[in-house]
Every structure is written in C-alpha cells, then in structure tokens.
C-alpha cells in the first residue's frame, strides 16, 4: 500500500492555494493547514515555507528537539539553506522540482526488532508478519514520528480521515491487534507504547539502555 505523505504549506494566499490544488490533484498527499507547528507538537512529513513564514530561530530550536520534518524554503533568490532548512527553491520554480524534494523524505524505519516494509513486518529470522492496510498505515505514521508520540486525534485524521470530535474505538481496536502481532507480552508493550494521549514506537536503543 502507499500511505500518503502529510504536507503543511505556509505561504502567501495565492501561492498556497495554487500548491494545495496541485498537490491535491496528484492524490498521494494529505494536506494540513498552513500553521507551522511548534516544537513538541505533531509535525507533518514535509513543510513548505515561504520566506516570510520562516523563523530561523524557531527552526533551529525544532531541530534540537528532534523534529525530522523535511523543510523546503521558497526564496526570492537562490541561496544556501539556512539553519533548520533542508532545501531552498528560488522563484520561479517548477512544481515537479518541489514534488521531487517532498518524495525524497526517507521511508519508515525499523519497528522494534522487526523491519517494516511493503505492508509487513519482517523478523530478524526472515519470517514475515502480514499486516492489514490500516495496521500498516498506523505503523507508517508512528514510524515517521521518529519516536515522538502521535496523538490519537492525529492518527484518526491521517489514517482514517476522521474529524477531531469523532467518538470511536476504532483506533484502540487496531492498536490492540497490532500489539498482539508485535509484542511478546501485549499487556506490557515494549515497542508500541501509550504516551501523552497517543502512541509512539520505542527505539531499540531505549530497550538496550534499560537492560
């Protein structure tokens, strides 16, 4: 399956409207509002920023807090990326060039002792553990947070497209099923943890440090 990349666009209204329409037409991106989240909040996979919306100090702080969002700056003239920015595109630019940068975001990494790829978990022995489409989407979303907690609301929005006020146990049911597949003791999860009103994936380094 192909899990859509989440994108935030902060730019002047006309440019933002144009980019939103172009990304929506491709059908493989989930668009967020233009607000650039503060450090510690749930960030998208990629953020496209006009120069007027880019605060160098805030970006540097976010990097120190471990955010790994791909940040692309739209500039009036060619320049080297400032602190906290991954790439700069100077006006006028081609939309295809912007898409290529967004698609360069690294894929999801390992999940505990497993390798997560192509909708399945692969054990060190080579054994394959099949996942449903939603289970794979949940793991992909959590893996892209690189160990940070992802809120319940963000998972319901990005995996199911649900609004913030919907009352449902769908997510909890899928988390329970994932833990039965992933954990040796689902009641005491090591890898898929509950934290801060949401869930996160623990890194192998955490277990090594605790042992």
What pLDDT does residue 165 have? 72
pLDDT in tens, 20-44: 999 989 888 888 765 555 544 566 7
In the chain, the domains with their CATH numbers are 5-102 (3.40.50.2300), 115-210 (1.10.10.10)
Instruction: Give the span between the Cα atoms of 6 and 68, in whole angstroms.
Output: 13
Across the beta sheet with 198-201, the strand order is: 150-151, 198-201, 192-195
pLDDT in tens, 38-82: 544 566 778 888 887 766 665 665 555 555 677 888 988 888 777
Instruction: Give SS3 for 5.
Output: strand
């Amino acid at each position: 399956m192909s899990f859509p990349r989440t994108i935030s666009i902060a730019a002047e209204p006309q440019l933002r409207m144009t980019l939103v329409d172009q990304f929506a037409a491709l059908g493989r991106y989930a668009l967020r509002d233009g607000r650039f989240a503060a450090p510690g909040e749930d960030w998208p996979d990629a953020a496209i920023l006009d120069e007027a919306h880019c605060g160098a100090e805030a970006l540097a702080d976010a990097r120190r807090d471990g955010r790994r969002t791909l940040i692309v700056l739209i500039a009036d003239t060619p320049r080297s990326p400032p602190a906290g920015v991954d790439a700069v595109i100077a006006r006028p630019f081609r939309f295809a060039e912007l898409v290529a940068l967004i698609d360069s975001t690294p894929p999801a990494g390992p999940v505990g002792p497993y390798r997560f790829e192509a909708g399945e978990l692969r054990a060190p022995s080579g054994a394959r553990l099949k996942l449903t489409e939603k289970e794979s989407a949940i793991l992909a979303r959590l893996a892209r947070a690189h160990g940070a907690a992802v809120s319940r609301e963000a998972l319901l929005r990005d995996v199911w497209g649900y609004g913030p006020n919907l009352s449902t146990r769908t997510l909890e049911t899928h988390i329970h099923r994932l833990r039965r597949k992933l954990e040796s003791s689902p009641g005491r999860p090591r890898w898929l943890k509950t934290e801060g009103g949401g869930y996160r994936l623990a890194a192998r380094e955490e277990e090594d440090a605790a042992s």
